[in-house]
Structure 1
Amino acid sequence: MVTSLNKVLVVSDYDRTLAHEKDGFFLDDRVKERVENFAKNNFFAVVSGREKRLIDVFARGFTPTAWVLENGALIFVKGEEKVNAPECWFHEREKISSTLKEMNIPYSLGKVIIYINNRKLSHEEISSLNELCDVEYNRGDAMLLPKGVNKASGILKLKEILKFGGLTVGVGDGENDLKMMEVVDVKVAVKNAVPCIKEIADVVLTHEDGEGIMELLDMIEKGELKSSEA
């Protein structure tokens, strides 16, 4: 599938960007409908640190163009799954899990990712982990992934799959969206984004969460959103 250059790919975080915490992170039906209508003529991918099993609950029936989950490690397009991680990672992940147990650090496993909730790791703890492991944070939660696997690498892989050559717009709220912002043409922050995202954004929306996403899609369709390089 070769895309038209005048189409837009929006890559959006999920928690506190697409879905509101006050709604328990369940996706609002109005936002769902607005995004799906946008994706009929453009492209919209959800890029999240969450596992698919949880997304399937929180966004039941939602059909964007693609999902990039586990912070870039898993990509789903039309139901087909692509693993964005080296095969050797799964052996190394066992070693990392054993180390975390020895350090009495609670964790949980996704298909690729290791989650550590409500805890930042010290420099000493990070140095004790496998050298093939990267650590990223999102509002106090730690995520452990293979070196070089993050939202940016997931988005680049998705663009390869879609053969996409148009304008890419990234929208997010948290620290783990910083890598994503490195590989998009237009950086967008929802109103409730943390300061480090707002500081680098080309556009800071006037609304939070899903209301902000709808504001962004209106801007795109009205031709009001321009690349910083334009």
Structure 2
Amino acid sequence: MRYLCLAADYDGTLATHGKVEQEVIEALYRLKASTRQLILVTGRVMEELKVVFPGYEIFDRIVAENGALLYKPATKEERLLGERPPEPFINELHRQVKPLSVGKVIVATWEPHQNTVLEAIKKEGLELQVIFNKGAVMILPAGINKAKGLKETLKEMNMSLHNVVAVGDAENDNAMLNAAECAVAVSNALPAVQHHADWITDHPHGKGVIQLIDRLLENDLQDVDCKLTRHYLNLGQRTTGEDFSVCPYGPNILLSGTTKSGKSTMATFFLEKLLEKNYQFCLIDPEGDYLQQPGAVRIGDSEHAPAVEEVLSLLNNPMQSVIVSILAIPLDDRPRFFNSLLSALSQMRKETGHPHWIIADEAHHMLPAPAAPSYYAIPDDFKNFAFISLSTEGMNEAVLNKITLVISMGDDAAKAIMEFSRFRNIQLKENAVTPLQKGQAWVWDVTAGNEPVLIKTGIPVHLQQRHKKKYATGDMDYNSFYFRGPENKLNLKAYNLIVFTQMASGIDDETWFYHLKRKDYSNWLRHSVHDEELAALVNKIEIDEQYGAGSRQAIVDLINDRYTA
């Protein structure tokens, strides 16, 4: 289940003319019976809300005063996220503005008094903000809004914004809608709110919320997935230059490739994309390949086996991703440990919606083909996993039968795709996949009935930085540039970019122009340094005769600017 929580505005959304109809309350009870959580997010103060909405206790949490006050109906606990403006400021507004309401943090009035409010804030030198809500003028501490209140509430509940669908109708709901995974506007919502919504209900007010609840219970808003492209995860680029991305919810990925095929680089790039969008992952690492992965905490090492309870404790915080090193677990015991961890993670997902992704590197260690498929505790609705392996041959059919997206890399990529198609009894054209070049992958959406797609894989940022240093000052070994000149009279090895610029400045003209005319410089930068942008700039110099003798200094300057300055 993707959406474990509904966050709903009150006035104009749940309520019609300030009152919530009985059929809306009944729909909320139906949603709550599905084990989903309910959060009311309103601009009203709690005392006023309790009077106009006696059924408020149906909600698991309430965010009141437009994000400034958090309330637990079950225990009646309150938590303030800010301080009320000083009394002299409030007294000054009382003298100039009517009506004026004052909560525990919020101070509010109505248009057209916004200019008076702004002048009073300026006069007192206060760090306050003004938020509008269909004619209402709300004064709050800087940084306090519905999104802030919702985030703090979810933090208390150990839940993620990626498991929330939010519904609203007015300007002050925009922050909450933008923060949630799915943003819904009731049909009576302001045009600006509808413009930013992922889905607009057919009905206004509470009837629109009922429609949303029915869709949640029917299919967990699966039909809205295609509109949530802002959350999609980039895997690389198509041959046409367009990004190739996948939905963050639903895919079951098999990433296969032989040693040095680039699958570890691809996996790291995928992890970076998850972290970039705040999707939590739990990665099981059997060989210590992810010890330096930024943005995640590591548990276990070559001497200390991780405990499932410790893993779950770390994952309680939905913003914390975890790498589970199982180096200390004997090979024969790894399937048992994986089964135990998978069972615990599956239960955690049911209750909290995260970890959003479960990733197993060298998955054949934990899911070997000889084991009985029934041994593994893989739920029928298991989604959002990525298993990384050398090939499909070593993987257990319990997993292979659930794969929906195959990413195949390396010299045997085409063979692996064809083997998987035969295993799943899915017909593919003989020429559907061809041998790959370095940095490419075949991606096959198994369930869509499409042909495999050829992509250029992305390079992780931290790997780019490491490589950039290597290219500038390290030893590029067989990727070095050799100044040979015509007839191979020379054999001068430039083993990094700094050495290249030094040699370029002193090499004889005949040798320099020999390589320039052959476009050896741009080809080296493109294929060995993997800097397409720099290669394109150098190529312009190579083909532009106006540079002439100045081509040497122009290319050296470009390299210095990007790598060695």
Unaligned runs of 5+ in 1: none
Quote the offset at 1:224 in angstroms. Answer: 5.3
User: Does residue 51 of the first structure (1) align with residue 51 of the second (2)?
Assistant: no
Matching residue's letter, 1:105:
V
Partner of residue 263, structure 2: none
Q: Mean Cα displacement is larger for which, 59-68 or 193-202?
A: 59-68
Query: Do residues 105 (structure 1) and 120 (structure 2) align?
Result: no
Aligned to 1:217: 213
Code of the aligned partner of 2:49: I
TM-score by length of 1: 0.87
For 1:109 and 1:80, how far apart are their aligned partners in 2? Answer: 20
For residue 179 of structure 2, give the secondary structure of its aligned residue in structure 1: coil
Report the equivalent of 1:147: 142
Alignment of 1:117-132 (within 5 A): 117-122=110-115, 124=119, 127-128=122-123, 130-132=125-127
**Deviation at residue 98 of structure 1 after TM alignment:** 3.1
Which of 9, 12, 16 aligns to 2:8? It is: 12
2:66 corresponds to: 71
Given that 1:74 and 1:84 are in contact with CA atoms closer than 8 Å, whether structure 2 keeps it comes out as yes
Determine which structure has the larger helix proportion and give its number: 2
More deviation in 162-171 or 190-199?
162-171
Task: Number of aligned residue pairs: give it.
Answer: 219
CA distance in 2, matches of 1:47, 1:33: 19
Decide whether the 8 Å contact of 2:89 with 2:120 is kept in 1.
Answer: no
2-structure distance, mates of 1:55, 1:33: 19
C-alpha root-mean-square deviation of aligned residues, in Å? 1.9
TM-score normalized by the length of structure 2: 0.37
- Cα drift, residue 27 of structure 1: 1.2
CA drift of 1:125 comes to 5.1
**Aligned-residue offset at 1:36:** 2.0
Does the CA contact (< 8 Å) of 1:11 and 1:47 recur in 2?
yes
CA deviation profile, 1:11-32 (whole Å, cap 9, x unmatched)? 11000100112xxx12111111
Deviation at 1:118, TM superposition (A): 3.9
Match of 1:84 in 2: 80
Match of 1:136 among 131, 135, 142: 131
1:186 matched to 2:182: yes
Superposed CA offset, 1:169-192 (max 9, x none) = 111000111111221011110000
Q: 1:195 to 1:125 in 2, by over 3 A?
A: farther
Report whether the alignment pairs 1:35 with 2:31.
Answer: no
State how 1:147-186 maps to structure 2 within 5 Å: 147-165=142-160, 167-186=163-182
The change in CA–CA distance for 1:105 and 1:196 in structure 2 (over 3 A counts) is same
Closer, same or farther: CA 14–129 of 1 in aligned 2, 3 Å: farther
Amino acid at match of 2:141: P
SS at match of 1:61: helix
Amino acid in the other structure paired with 1:58: V
Contact 2:43–2:64, Cα closer than 8 Å, also in 1:
yes
Correspondence for 2:434: none
Q: 1:108 and 1:211 mapped to 2: Cα distance? A: 30
Per-residue displacement from partner, 1:158-207 (whole Å, max 9, x unpaired)?
A: 10111113511111000111111221011110000001100100001100
Contact 1:67 1:75 in 2 (8 A): yes
Looking at structure 2, the residues matched to 112 and 33 of structure 1 have their Cα atoms a distance apart, in angstroms, of 32
Gaps of 5+ in 2: 232-246, 248-565
Distance 1:81 1:51 in 2: 14
1:116 aligned counterpart, secondary structure: strand
The CA distance in 2 between the partners of 1:28 and 1:129, in whole Å, is 43
1:188, 1:133 → 2: CA distance? 29
- Per mean C-alpha deviation after superposition, the further-off stretch among 57-66 and 115-124 is 115-124
Distance in 2 (CA, whole Å) between partners of 1:129 and 1:174 is: 29
